[in-house]
């Protein structure tokens, strides 16, 4: 605890008390951490998860909905247990962790009050040539419901002033069949 507190005070780590999560806020330190982890044999599983996360982001940007649904299913299986698998919070956590590689290119807003609701995930690019991404999660509904909610509740509000490509990503998880569905709508704003 003392070491983590010290790293937070020095600015090497940040801590969100409400969500009880830690992040590496500095891009150079993030890159250095990835480099160190990628070279360490003891981190083989971490490297595999990072590679899968990077591929998921690429598949999302390439609009490969089947690949995205499969990547999210794999992440959900890694995170969930038999007791928590059908829990929506577990799925939200799995999706956030599945997109871990996105922190290299995006500021990620989780459970953000915007417009007339709360957006599950918003990715604001801070590098050129990356699309903004809004991800809305539904359980036991449809991807159409999620896409409609993004529009109806004005989840694009944090993107005021942004000009470029926007990906609206709708994810639906069916508890009975345990099937993950994805639909991605690309727009220019």
SS3 184: strand
d(Cα 177, Cα 164) in Å, to the nearest integer?
37
Return the DSSP state at 141.
Answer: S
Query: 124 pLDDT exceeds 80?
Result: yes
SS3 188: strand
Residues 6+ apart with CB under 8 A from 48: none
- Under the banding of pLDDT at 50, 70 and 90, the label for residue 89 is confident
pLDDT in tens, 133-157: 999 999 999 999 999 999 999 999 9
| 114: its two tokens | 């915007």
Q: Tokens 């993030």, residue?
A: 30
Q: Residue 110 CB: number of other CB atoms within 10 A?
A: 17
Return the DSSP state at 140.
Answer: S
Tell me, what's the pLDDT at 3?
Answer: 78
Contact 152, 114 (CB under 8 A): no
Contact 144, 171 (CB under 8 A): no
| Chain CA centroid to CA 140, Å | 20
Q: Tokens 């040539």, residue?
A: 129
pLDDT in tens, 14-72: 887 777 777 888 888 888 877 777 776 666 777 788 899 999 999 999 999 999 999 99
Return the DSSP state at 127.
Answer: S
d(Cα 120, Cα 66) in Å, to the nearest integer?
20
Percent of the residues in the chain that have a pLDDT greater than 70, as a whole number = 97
């Amino acid at each position: 605890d003392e070491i983590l507190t010290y790293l937070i005070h020095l600015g090497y780590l940040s801590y969100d008390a409400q969500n009880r999560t830690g992040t590496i806020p500095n891009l150079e330190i993030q890159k250095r951490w990835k480099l160190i982890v990628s070279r360490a044999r003891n981190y083989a599983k971490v490297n595999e998860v990072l590679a899968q996360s990077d591929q998921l982001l690429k598949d999302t940007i390439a609009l490969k909905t089947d690949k995205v649904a499969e990547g999210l299913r794999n992440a959900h299986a890694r995170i969930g247990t038999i007791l928590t698998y059908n829990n929506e919070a577990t799925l939200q956590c799995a999706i956030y962790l599945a997109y871990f590689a996105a922190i290299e290119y995006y500021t990620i807003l989780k459970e953000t009050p915007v417009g007339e609701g709360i957006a599950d995930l918003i990715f604001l690019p801070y590098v050129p040539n990356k699309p903004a991404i809004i991800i809305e999660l539904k359980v036991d509904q449809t991807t159409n419901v999620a896409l409609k909610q993004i529009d109806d509740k004005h989840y694009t509000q944090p993107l005021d002033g942004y000009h470029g490509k926007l990906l609206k990503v709708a994810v639906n998880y069916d508890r009975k069949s345990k099937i993950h569905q994805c639909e991605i709508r690309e727009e220019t704003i």
